[in-house]
A = this chain, B = another copy of it.
Amino acid sequence: MKALEDKILSQGKVLPGNVLNVSSFLNHMIDADFSMQMGAEIKRLFAGEKIDKILTIEASGIALAVATAAALHVPMLFAKKSKTSNLSGEFYQAKIHSYTHSNDYTAIVNRNYISKGERILIVDDFLANGEAVRGLIKIVSDAGAVLAGAAVAVEKGFQPGGRMLREQGIHLESLAVIESMTDSSVTFRKQ
């Protein structure tokens, strides 16, 4: 999505440790109109797929997920982050490692809100190592639902998450794929 690449170039900041800071429009301050445009673009990219529900994880995935859900006129469900496993049986859960924060957390989703056979599209703001998406895929699978695909705003193409998901045959769409970053430049993969 050319408009997203332009926005990353004009507003993004590369920080030490291969961190791309896009908090001025994507994950702290949100350009709401632009989120709606990204949601409409994800709808277009998955035009061939039946999608019953959007699944994301709190907090920074929510804005894009609700924009996508509004474009598709389907519900959105966000997994909550819990520090502990919940043993009550009320939740589907997946353990996720955060490279950003160097810790583990458990993503939980109330069992009432995913049904067997439902077609789920996972949406998130960033894809790097793919830990969060893999956790959400486990939840979709545990629920007996069907993974329609995954869509992210920004994929770090030099980290393995995207490649691993594609190798599994998952329909993954990334609105912008960063091929490489230096302090002074960001290079995108041609799509």
Contact = CB atoms under 8 A, between A and B. Distances in A.
Given A23-B110, A69-B32, A113-B29, A76 B63 contact: yes
A36 interface: yes
A82 to B, nearest CB: 12
Contacts of A33: 70, 73
Contact of A76 (B29, B54, B73): B29
A189 interface: no
A59 B61 CA distance: 10
A38 to B, nearest CB: 12
Given A28-B110, A70-B32, A59 B80 contact: yes
What copy number does this chain have within its complex?
Answer: 2
B59 A78 contact: yes
A112 interface: yes
Contacts of A75: 25, 29-32
A104 interface: no
Interface in A75-91: 75-78, 80
A99 B36 CA distance: 34
A49 interface: no
Nearest to A53: B29
Contacts of A110: 23, 28-29
Given A58-B59, A62-B59, A76 B28 contact: no
Given A23-B110, A59-B58, A62-B59, A74 B32 contact: yes
- Which are the 10 A-B pairs with shortest beta-carbon distances? A32-B69, A58-B59, A59-B59, A62-B62, A32-B70, A30-B76, A63-B66, A29-B113, A29-B77, A32-B76
